Copies of this chain bind each other. A is one copy, B any other.
Amino acid sequence: MIHNLTVNVPGQGLHDITDQVKQAVASVVSDTDIFNGLCTLYIQHTSASLLIQENYDPSAKADLESWLNRLVPEHDPIYTHTIEGPDDMPAHIKCMLTATSLSIPLVDGGLALGTWQGVFLWEHRHSSNSRRVIMHVGR
Protein backbone atom coordinates (compact mmCIF):
# COMPACT_ATOMS: atom_id res chain seq x y z
CA MET A 1 0.00 0.00 0.00
CA ILE A 2 1.65 3.18 -1.25
CA HIS A 3 0.58 6.73 -0.39
CA ASN A 4 2.26 9.91 -1.61
CA LEU A 5 2.67 12.90 0.67
CA THR A 6 3.59 16.38 -0.47
CA VAL A 7 5.14 18.57 2.20
CA ASN A 8 5.43 22.28 1.49
CA VAL A 9 8.09 23.89 3.65
CA PRO A 10 8.82 27.63 3.94
CA GLY A 11 12.58 27.13 4.38
CA GLN A 12 15.33 25.57 6.45
CA GLY A 13 14.41 23.78 9.65
CA LEU A 14 12.52 20.94 11.28
CA HIS A 15 8.90 20.78 10.13
CA ASP A 16 6.51 18.66 12.17
CA ILE A 17 4.62 16.34 9.80
CA THR A 18 3.17 14.06 12.49
CA ASP A 19 -0.45 15.10 11.82
CA GLN A 20 -0.05 14.76 8.05
CA VAL A 21 1.45 11.28 8.44
CA LYS A 22 -1.26 10.23 10.92
CA GLN A 23 -3.98 11.36 8.52
CA ALA A 24 -2.40 9.39 5.67
CA VAL A 25 -2.17 6.31 7.92
CA ALA A 26 -5.83 6.71 8.95
CA SER A 27 -6.78 6.86 5.28
CA VAL A 28 -4.84 3.66 4.53
CA VAL A 29 -6.36 1.90 7.55
CA SER A 30 -9.89 2.84 6.47
CA ASP A 31 -9.22 1.72 2.87
CA THR A 32 -7.71 -1.64 3.85
CA ASP A 33 -7.93 -4.08 6.74
CA ILE A 34 -4.36 -3.40 7.87
CA PHE A 35 -4.51 -2.54 11.58
CA ASN A 36 -1.16 -3.97 12.58
CA GLY A 37 1.88 -3.73 10.40
CA LEU A 38 4.69 -1.38 9.48
CA CYS A 39 4.61 2.15 8.11
CA THR A 40 7.73 3.23 6.23
CA LEU A 41 8.41 6.82 5.15
CA TYR A 42 10.86 7.56 2.36
CA ILE A 43 11.95 11.04 1.26
CA GLN A 44 12.88 11.40 -2.43
CA HIS A 45 15.46 14.13 -1.89
CA THR A 46 19.15 14.58 -1.05
CA SER A 47 18.83 17.96 0.65
CA ALA A 48 15.96 17.21 3.03
CA SER A 49 15.66 14.31 5.46
CA LEU A 50 13.44 12.65 8.06
CA LEU A 51 13.72 12.59 11.84
CA ILE A 52 11.81 11.21 14.80
CA GLN A 53 12.31 13.60 17.70
CA GLU A 54 10.77 15.24 20.73
CA ASN A 55 7.83 17.36 19.64
CA TYR A 56 6.83 18.83 22.98
CA ASP A 57 9.32 21.58 23.77
CA PRO A 58 10.25 23.88 20.84
CA SER A 59 13.64 24.62 22.45
CA ALA A 60 14.77 21.02 21.80
CA LYS A 61 13.96 21.45 18.11
CA ALA A 62 15.81 24.79 17.99
CA ASP A 63 18.88 23.26 19.63
CA LEU A 64 18.98 20.34 17.17
CA GLU A 65 18.96 22.87 14.33
CA SER A 66 21.64 25.13 15.78
CA TRP A 67 23.88 22.21 16.77
CA LEU A 68 23.76 20.67 13.29
CA ASN A 69 24.25 24.06 11.61
CA ARG A 70 27.40 24.55 13.68
CA LEU A 71 28.72 21.05 12.89
CA VAL A 72 28.06 21.50 9.17
CA PRO A 73 28.56 25.19 8.42
CA GLU A 74 28.21 26.90 5.07
CA HIS A 75 31.35 28.21 3.31
CA ASP A 76 33.57 25.44 4.68
CA PRO A 77 36.74 25.58 2.53
CA ILE A 78 36.66 21.77 2.26
CA TYR A 79 33.69 21.99 -0.13
CA THR A 80 34.36 21.75 -3.86
CA HIS A 81 30.69 21.23 -4.79
CA THR A 82 29.64 24.88 -4.54
CA ILE A 83 27.89 25.53 -7.85
CA GLU A 84 24.38 25.10 -6.40
CA GLY A 85 24.87 27.64 -3.61
CA PRO A 86 26.42 27.78 -0.13
CA ASP A 87 23.60 25.79 1.50
CA ASP A 88 23.72 22.87 -0.96
CA MET A 89 26.74 20.85 0.17
CA PRO A 90 25.88 21.31 3.88
CA ALA A 91 22.39 20.01 2.98
CA HIS A 92 23.82 16.80 1.50
CA ILE A 93 26.03 16.25 4.55
CA LYS A 94 23.11 16.82 6.92
CA CYS A 95 21.10 14.24 4.97
CA MET A 96 23.99 11.80 5.32
CA LEU A 97 23.86 12.22 9.11
CA THR A 98 20.08 11.87 9.44
CA ALA A 99 17.52 9.54 7.81
CA THR A 100 16.22 9.09 4.27
CA SER A 101 13.88 6.28 5.36
CA LEU A 102 12.13 5.62 8.67
CA SER A 103 9.90 2.74 9.76
CA ILE A 104 7.27 3.00 12.49
CA PRO A 105 5.12 0.06 13.59
CA LEU A 106 1.37 0.30 13.08
CA VAL A 107 -0.46 -1.03 16.15
CA ASP A 108 -4.26 -1.23 16.46
CA GLY A 109 -4.66 1.08 13.50
CA GLY A 110 -2.34 3.85 14.73
CA LEU A 111 1.33 4.74 14.56
CA ALA A 112 3.21 3.39 17.59
CA LEU A 113 5.01 6.65 18.32
CA GLY A 114 6.33 7.11 21.84
CA THR A 115 4.71 9.69 24.09
CA TRP A 116 7.11 12.48 23.18
CA GLN A 117 7.90 11.45 19.61
CA GLY A 118 6.93 13.39 16.53
CA VAL A 119 7.83 12.90 12.87
CA PHE A 120 9.75 15.73 11.25
CA LEU A 121 10.81 16.62 7.75
CA TRP A 122 14.12 18.43 8.00
CA GLU A 123 14.52 20.93 5.20
CA HIS A 124 18.21 21.77 4.80
CA ARG A 125 17.95 24.43 2.07
CA HIS A 126 16.98 28.05 2.80
CA SER A 127 14.44 28.25 -0.02
CA SER A 128 10.83 27.20 0.24
CA ASN A 129 10.34 23.77 -1.27
CA SER A 130 7.71 21.21 -2.06
CA ARG A 131 9.07 17.87 -0.85
CA ARG A 132 7.82 14.39 -1.75
CA VAL A 133 7.57 11.68 0.89
CA ILE A 134 6.37 8.20 -0.06
CA MET A 135 4.58 6.19 2.60
CA HIS A 136 4.42 2.41 2.43
CA VAL A 137 2.18 0.45 4.77
CA GLY A 138 2.63 -3.32 4.89
CA ARG A 139 1.37 -6.14 7.10
List the interface of chain A (C-beta within 8 A of B): 1-2, 36-38, 40, 42-46, 51-54, 57, 59-60, 62-64, 66-68, 70, 72, 76, 78-81, 83, 89, 92-93, 95-105, 107, 112-117, 132, 134, 136, 138-139
> Measured between alpha carbons, how far is A134 from B67 in the docked complex, in Å?
29
- As for how many copies of this chain the complex holds, the number is 3
A92–B38 contact, CB under 8 A?
A: no
Query: Please, which residues of chain B bring their CB within 8 A of the CB of A51?
Result: 96
B40–A105 contact, CB under 8 A?
A: yes
> Measured between alpha carbons, how far is A95 from B53 in the docked complex, in Å?
8
A42-B105, A46-B52 known; A96 vs B78 contact (CB < 8 Å)? no
